[in-house]
Amino acid sequence: MGKFTVLNHPLIQHKLTIMRDKNTGTKDFREIASEIAELMVYEITRDLPLKSVEIETPMGKTVQKELAGKKLAVVPILRAGLGMVDGVLRLVPAAKVGHIGMYRDEETLEPHEYFLKLPPDIEQRDVFVVDPMLATGGSAKMAIEALKKHGAKNMRLVVLVAAPEGVKAIEEAFPDVDVYAAALDDHLNDDGYIVPGLGDAGDRLFGTK
């Protein structure tokens, strides 16, 4: 079974509260989404392997640690996932970026894929799939299936707000995919929105409503 982890560092909780507030405007919403993504990646990358290297400081030779060259990729689920990419890249600037476009039909809540462009060596990379919202889980499930079809092997799903329904859907579909959230919310409403949630993440990020 994949692990589900809520990264509830006080800074993450504080920033998420600002995002949830309906009076927070696009500029702050976008900046804070990026900051939370950065903090989440800091926590998630604690297990990255290190190797010893010999270097020379101004005082002489020493053996120290550096990252063992594990390759990473970040794949935002468009559109809203784009709001988390900068934050990831601030900490992992060498990561390659893939894109997968998904929209959820407002009536049926069924996801539809409309774009896919991945780094050619995706199968060799640890992949962070990012999207602020995990609601029914339909979009993330379809995105992860598409990435698997294109060779991605080691994937983690990183979201800001998760609904229990979405977590269950990913756990059942992908025992090999760990899910990280900044918060686990209460439920989905009849329109498939997370409650209390933060509303429509894409629209709030890009000012489209």
Ligand X SMILES: O=P(O)(O)OC[C@H]1O[C@H](OP(=O)(O)OP(=O)(O)O)[C@H](O)[C@@H]1O
93 is known to lie in a ligand binding site = no
Clarify whether 203 is annotated catalytic. yes
Long-range contacts of 92-99 (CB under 8 A, 24+ apart): 92/41, 92/45, 95/128, 96/71, 96/72, 96/121, 96/125, 97/73, 98/73, 98/74, 98/122, 98/127, 98/147, 99/75
Residues 6+ apart with CB under 8 A from 98: 73, 74, 75, 116, 117, 118, 119, 122, 127, 147
2 is known to lie in a ligand binding site = no
- From 108, 176, 186, 208, the catalytic residue: 108
166 is known to lie in a ligand binding site = no
Q: Taking CB under 6 A as the rule, does residue 177 contact ligand X?
A: no
Tell me, residue by residue from 133 to 162, as one string, x for binding to ligand URA by CB under 6 A and - for no binding. x-x---------------------------
- Cβ of residue 62: shortest distance to ligand X, in angstroms? 46
Q: Which is nearer to ligand URA, 80 or 169 (CB)?
A: 80
In 111-163, which ranges are continuous DSSP H helix? Answer: 138-149
126: its two tokens: 């640890």
Residues between 148 and 207 that touch Mg ion (CB under 5 A): 200, 202
Q: Which residue has the tokens 């894109």?
A: 99
Chain residues binding Mg ion by CB under 5 A are 200, 202
Active site residues: 104, 108, 200, 203
Chain residues binding ligand URA by CB under 6 A are 80, 133, 135, 193-194, 197, 200-202
Chain residues binding ligand X by CB under 6 A are 77, 79-80, 102-104, 109, 111, 131-140, 166, 192, 200-202
